[in-house]
Amino acid sequence: MLNQTSVTEFILLGVRDIQGPQPFLFAIFFTIYFVNITGNGAILMIVILDPRLHSPMYFFLGNLACLDISYSTVTVPKMLENLLSTNKAISLLGCITQLHFFHFLGTTESLLLAVMAFDRFVAICRPLHYSVIMNWQVCILMAVTIWTIAFLHALLHSVMTSRLSFCGLNHIHHFFCDVKPLLELACGNTELNLWLLNTVTGTIASVPFFLTFLSYFYIITYLFLKTRSCSMLHKALSTCASHFMVVVLFYAPVLFTYIRPTSGSSLDQDRIIAIMYSVVTPALNPLIYTLRNKEVRSALNRKVRRCLLLEEI
């Protein structure tokens, strides 16, 4: 009879399958989340307020900062609540909603990183045509397109997952609702959902990944073949280095999670990898851009000095 009971809520077991409060893990993840919100919020603020950063490169950087805040906010607050509570329940609707926005924002970031790589390719390899190719109309169109594609991709997963029947077991061995853990609890045929996860999501992740690294391949080749000045070479490589580091940090765990066969996955591995790309990486991104990008550092310093002067007055 248990297997015939319809599930209306799930229990998120969290980072570790422990029912009781976990204050030590709460402190760690709260600190990381605070760094994420503060760092990305600062980048978003200076990109909006500083006229010197009103260019395509920083327009996309602002989009990335907004994404990183939203991406972690989809999963981390609920995880923090569960780490201090014995009631770790989430409704079926809440679970599907979390799944939708997690894939929506994650897919948007994947596509955005490819667009940012293309922007650097045009800026370095086609500098004379940069203002024509990357005009504001094109930039806004690119941003709207990637957000729309990502929303439709996430909608596909959320609709297909909501059509499944869940009966009996309702314990999710994860700290948020994702497709893989839910498919393990579904009763009925999940072959189509698995195919969509491995094929569609794998394509959505791997195509921007390939285009991003293709852009950097052309950039590096162009710089070494065409650039005679060491100072120009160093400046160009330095500009791309921060973005390249973000790309590696984002794609490595995502590709490992969604491209490998589902049957060979480990629950502990999935949770560790998910922590990397949904909690740790968004917090590292503002540190990478702030430490390696001279314009962002300068704009941030100007803003801090201005605030200090206003306080003195």
**What size, in residues, is the chain?**
313
Of 189 and 158, more confident: 158
pLDDT at 309: 66
pLDDT at 1: 37
Tell me the range of 123-137, 193-207, 229-243 where mean pLDDT is highest. Answer: 123-137
pLDDT at 242: 73
Report residue 2's pLDDT band, with 50, 70 and 90 as the boundaries: very low
For 61-75, 102-116, 120-134, 225-239, which range has the lowest pLDDT when averaged over its residues?
Answer: 225-239
pLDDT at 217: 85
Alpha-carbon span 38 to 283, nearest angstrom: 9
The answer to whether 110 and 204 have CB atoms below 8 angstroms apart is: yes
Of 70, 119, 39, residue with least CA distance to 290? 39
| Residue whose token pair is 């502990």 | 268
Contact residues for 157 (Cβ-Cβ < 8 A; gap 6+): 99, 100, 103, 179, 196, 197, 201
pLDDT at 115: 93
**pLDDT of 14 above 80:** no
Question: Two tokens at 41?
Answer: 């919020």
- From the CA atom positions of the chain, what is the Rg in Å? 21
Mean pLDDT over all residues of the chain? 82
Name the pairing type of β-strands 171-172 and 9-12.
parallel
Numbers of helices and strands, H then E, in the chain: 12, 5
Alpha-carbon span 118 to 137, nearest angstrom: 16
Mean pLDDT across 135-143: 94
Mean pLDDT across 115-138: 90
Question: Two tokens at 186?
Answer: 């579904």
Report residue 261's pLDDT band, with 50, 70 and 90 as the boundaries: low
Helices 92-125 and 56-84, axial angle in degrees (round to 10): 150
The answer to whether 69 and 40 have CB atoms below 8 angstroms apart is: yes
**pLDDT of 103 above 50:** yes
Of 133 and 1, more confident: 133
**pLDDT of 259 above 60:** no
For 66-70, 135-139, 232-236, 297-301, which range has the lowest pLDDT when averaged over its residues?
Answer: 232-236
Quick count: other Cβ atoms within 10 Å of Cβ 159?
11
pLDDT at 77: 92
**pLDDT of 209 above 90:** no
pLDDT at 3: 45
Mean pLDDT across 17-28: 76
The answer to whether 278 and 75 have CB atoms below 8 angstroms apart is: yes
Quick count: other Cβ atoms within 10 Å of Cβ 158?
22
Question: Two tokens at 254?
Answer: 């995502």
Q: What angle is formed at CA 44 by the lines to CA 39 and CA 49, rounded to 5 degrees?
A: 125
Question: Two tokens at 216?
Answer: 């950097």
Of 270 and 148, more confident: 148
Mean pLDDT across 27-51: 90
pLDDT at 105: 93
Alpha-carbon span 255 to 258, nearest angstrom: 5
| pLDDT tens, residue by residue, 284-309 | 888 777 766 777 777 777 777 776 66
**Phi, then psi, of 18 in degrees rounded to 5:** -125, 130
Contacts by residues 43-47 (CB-CB < 8 Å, ≥ 24 positions apart): 43/286, 43/289, 43/290, 43/296, 44/69, 45/303, 46/296, 46/299, 46/300, 46/303
Alpha-carbon span 226 to 196, nearest angstrom: 43
**pLDDT of 79 above 80:** yes
| Residue whose token pair is 């079926």 | 92
The answer to whether 92 and 8 have CB atoms below 8 angstroms apart is: yes
